Each structure stands twice: as structure tokens, then as C-alpha cells.
Chain A
Amino acid sequence: MTNPRSLVAALVLVCAVAAPVAAQDRPVAGRVKVSTGSAFIVRNGAQVPAQVGQIVYEADGLRTGGDGKIGITLNDDTRLSLGPNSEFKLEKFTFAPADSAFGLAVRFVKGAATYVSGRIAKLAPDSIKLETPAAIIGVRGTTLAINVLPTE
């Protein structure tokens, strides 16, 4: 059997190599289609202005200021948008029909957002996880509007 110590060493090595995650190492999820006013992509803790046509990766966040709006289309046709002073995080995106691998997780942090389901909702609805601070949303092929009010 494998020596546990060498297994740990191998894991440490894998983690060390995987640690500095550039956006390009993460799966491409979709593209920015609409961006007006102060609209940002939050990537690895840094906030960059969102440009129309820009690629959105898994684990990116989207955030808007008081005059901002943003809309994105994901590779499975899911669409998401934000009104002003709003934020969500695209925690997971997997769309690989050839491998039957699907997954979508979005955490709505604050403000007003809309979600229009795509092909993942048709092919694997149980792999979708939409979360607000106080609840979990289960979707069955749907257009939704989600509002999260600030806690103060």
C-alpha cells in the first residue's frame, strides 16, 4: 500500500503548486454582455472594472456601485444581472455535457439581481445551488428576481 507519509507529501506538493491560482487556471464560465457605470469583477480579492466582452471565470464575483449595472451570459445560456449597489459570487460553474458534468452555484450577497436559467437547469436541475444569506433557492427552469437587503 501507499506510504501515508508520501501521500501527505504528495498532497502538500499538489497544494503548493495549485495555490497561486490565476484566473486563467479556472474554468471559463461566460462573458460580460452589459456593463454600465461602476461595475466590477472581483477576482482573487481584487476589484477590476468590468468590460463588455470580458471573460468571467468560476469563483469570480460581480459587484456594482450606486450608478452601476452588469449582465453576464454563461456558457450554458444561464443569464445573470445586477442592479446598482449589488453583488453576487459565481462560486461554481461546470458545464461539460460530453462528461455529464454539471454544476452552478451562485451566492447572492446584496442588492437586486435577476437569474434566467440555462441548459444546466434542464439537464441537471439538482446541480444548481442559488443561495441568499437567509435561504436556499431550488429552481426548475425559471426566471427569478432576487433582492438581498443590507443588514443595516
Chain B
Amino acid sequence: MKSDRQFRAWLAIAAVSIAAACGPKHVSSPGRPGQDLVVLLPDSDTKTTGAAGVSNPLGSVDLAAERDAARVNPGSAPVLTKLSEAEVQRLFGDALSALPPAPRRFTLFFRFESDELTDQSQALIPEILAAVKEHAVQDVVVIGHTDTMGTQQANYGLGLKRAMMVRNLLISAGLNGSTIEATSVGELDPIVKTPDETPEPRNRRVDIAVR
């Protein structure tokens, strides 16, 4: 499997070089008019590399390793290749520099049927404030959740009460309220799936996204 991939990669590079060597002068690698190029890059936050497939009606290639790339010319199958770090920088340096910072997510937990935070969650507040300050544009979304005890409607209300409580907490800690959105989904998006009327502390929570 592995050697098959390397073989295909080698073929792809050879094909591109031949095209570049034999074609007219203005055709150079990488980049022919109308050509699409898709490159797999490592995730800058987790330092891991995902996977992607590039396909059209004529064929497909899998991108599995850092800087694996697919070149696709109109009317032909995608071709697997690999870019150097210098090529990635030359082609994508500007676009990469415009990527916003990675959003951060926090979950705060609540005492049963209340809008009071657990002690551990209360202790997370300074970390949330620090994360907001890392982002040039403040944009915070607060979503309240409940367990399945009580009616859906009552839980929507309780979720909203929890979200508003956290919003107020963040405002009193110095954040601008106009950029904090508070909403509720009640019992509809639990972390732990349970039957109705089940007390579950892990579902009594507020999710905070700092973007």
C-alpha cells in the first residue's frame, strides 16, 4: 500500500516534469492555465495532518501526508504530486497569513436545576477572558444546555437563563456585551444521550465559543 502510494507519487512528479520540459516556455511547474491544485497541510494547532480526496468523473487521488497535492487539469483525471515547503509558501503564503486564529471552546457546568456554576467551572473564567483577549476581534457565542428533567419548554428557559448568567458574568469581568451572543437549545443537544426525565450533570452546561 505504502509503496504503491510512493510509486504513484513518483509517476505524478515525472509526468509534471515532462510536461514542463516539453511544453511551450510559459508553461512552468507548478501551474498551467486552468489547472487546479489542492494541497494537504498539517493543522497548525494540533500539528497533525488530516486526509482528503480529490476527484472528478475521470479519477481520484487521496492526499494523506503533509504537502501531498493533487493537480487537476480540465478534462483529465487528478494527478498526485508533492509540493516543497518553498512552493507552499510561494503559492499560499499570503492566504495562510490571512487565516484567523483558531477558535477556542469552553464548557461550564451547573448545579442541578440552577444557574449556579460548579466550583471547577467558576475557576475557568479567567482562562476564558484570556482567550478572548488573544483574538483581535471579540466574538463570543454562549449556548445554554440542560438535561432532560422537566419539559422541553421549561428547559429552553433554563438554558437561556444559564447562558444569560454566563454572559453577564463575562460582561462584569470587562467584556463588551454587544459582541457576546447568548442563546439556548434547552435539552436538544446533550453531551450524553439519555432518555427523557434523566438527571445528567454533564448535560447541564453552557458551551462558550471564543472566535
Instruction: List residues of A whose CB falls within 8 A of some B CB.
Output: 31, 33-34, 36, 52-53, 69-73, 75, 77, 79, 81-84, 86, 97-99, 108, 112-114, 116-118, 132-152
Contacts and interface: CB of A to CB of B under 8 A. Distances in A.
B34 A151 contact: yes
Contact of A86 (B72, B75, B95): B95
Contacts of B3: none
Given A77-B105, A151-B33, 7 more contacts: A31-B139, A70-B98, A75-B141, A114-B95, A135-B72, A142-B50, A151-B74
B34 to A, nearest CB: 4
B52 A134 contact: no
Interface residues of B, number: 54
A81 B34 contact: no
A139 B52 contact: yes
A118 B102 CA distance: 10
Contacts of A146: 36-39
B55 A145 contact: no
9 smallest CB-CB distances across A and B, nearest first, come from A142-B50, A33-B100, A83-B94, A83-B95, A98-B188, A69-B98, A81-B98, A132-B36, A98-B185
Contact of A147 (B37, B97, B185): B37
Contacts of B99: 34, 71, 79, 81, 114, 116
A54 to B, nearest CB: 10
24 contacts: A31-B211, A33-B136, A81-B100, A83-B92, A83-B94, A84-B94, A97-B185, A97-B189, A98-B188, A112-B95, A113-B95, A114-B95, A114-B98, A133-B34, A134-B36, A135-B55, A135-B72, A138-B54, A139-B52, A140-B52, A146-B36, A147-B39, A150-B34, A151-B33
